[in-house]
Amino acid sequence: MKLSLACGQSGLEIEVDPSSATVVEPVHHEAAADQVAVLRAALRDPVAGPPLRERVSPGQTVAISACDGTRPQPRHLMIPAVLDELDGVVRREDVVILVATGTHRGNDESELRAMFGDEIVDAVRIVNHDARDAQQLTWMGRHGNGVPVWLNREWAEADVRITTGFVEPHFFAGFSGGPKLVAPGLAALETVLTLHDAARIGDVNPLETWRLTNLIKNPQ
C-alpha cells in the first residue's frame, strides 16, 4: 500500500507491506471556523488562572517562546493573538520572541517571515536561541537528578514568560509541549544532552520530571 508522509514541503510517498507493518494513522478534524476567535477566547478565559492581560503590568518585559521552523506551529496566528492581548499594557519594544531552536540551527530571515509573517518580523524583536552561545545563557543551578540547568538569559530575566506551541505524543516524555518550549527549546547544549541521555530516556522518574519542569517553567 502507498502512504504519504509529512516530510518537507510536498510530502514523501512510500510503499508499505501491510503483511509486515501496522499503519497507525491520526484522526483528522476540521479546523475551527474562526481560529483567531478561538485563540482570543483561550487567552481571555483560560482553563486555569486569570486572563493574560491580568498577568501583565505596564513597564514589564515579556519573553515569548515559539517553536522553530521544524515544528508545524501556527505561529502566524498564535503570536499576533498574544500580542493583541498585550497591546496597551506593555510596549512592543519590551517584548522579545525567542525561537526555541533547542540544538537546531537558527531560522534565517526568509524563514522567520514565512513562520511569523512580515508584520510581526518588522514590529517585534525576534531572537534565535543558540544552545552553544555562552553569552545567551545564564546558570540556574543543578536540579532534579543532577541536571545542569542553563537557560536563555533573556527568557530567565523577563518579567513575564509565555510559551506557545502545541501538544503531541512524545516517545519518552509522554507528551510534547509546555515546558519543552523552554528545555530543550531555550536550554544550553549541556542541559539538552543531559535531559536526553540514554539513562534518563530509559528510566524517567515522573516526580523528578515534574519538579524539573516546574523549575524550568518558573525560574527564580
Q: How far is the C-alpha of 45 from the C-alpha of 50, rounded, in Å? A: 7
Q: What is the CATH number of the domain that holds 88?
A: 3.40.50.11440
Q: How far is the C-alpha of 114 from the C-alpha of 124, rounded, in Å? A: 15
Q: How far is the C-alpha of 178 from the C-alpha of 218, rounded, in Å? A: 12
Q: Which residues are catalytic?
A: 104, 170
53: burial class by Cβ within 10 Å (0-12, 13-18, 19+)?
Answer: middle
Given a cut of 80, whether residue 48 has pLDDT beyond it is: yes
**Domain with 45 in it:** 31-217
Given a cut of 60, whether residue 197 has pLDDT beyond it is: yes
In a domain, 18, yes or no: no
Strands (E), 6-131: 12-15, 62-67, 95-100, 125-128
**94-143 per-position pLDDT tens digit:** 999 999 999 999 999 999 999 999 999 999 999 999 999 999 999 999 98
Q: What is the model's pLDDT at position 24?
A: 81
Q: Which residues of 198-219 are buried (b: 16+ CB within 10 A; e: fewer)?
A: eebeeeeeeeebeebbebbeeb
In a domain, 2, yes or no: no
In a domain, 15, yes or no: no
In a domain, 182, yes or no: yes
The torsion angle over the Cα atoms of residues 63, 68, 69 and 74, rounded to 10 degrees, is -50
Given a cut of 90, whether residue 175 has pLDDT beyond it is: no
In a domain, 124, yes or no: yes
- Number of domain units in the chain: 1
Mean pLDDT over the full length of the chain: 89
In a domain, 113, yes or no: yes
Q: What is the model's pLDDT at position 179?
A: 84
Q: How far is the C-alpha of 5 from the C-alpha of 10, rounded, in Å? A: 9
Mean local confidence (pLDDT), 137-160: 94
Given a cut of 80, whether residue 190 has pLDDT beyond it is: yes
pLDDT grade for 80, boundaries at 50, 70 and 90: very high
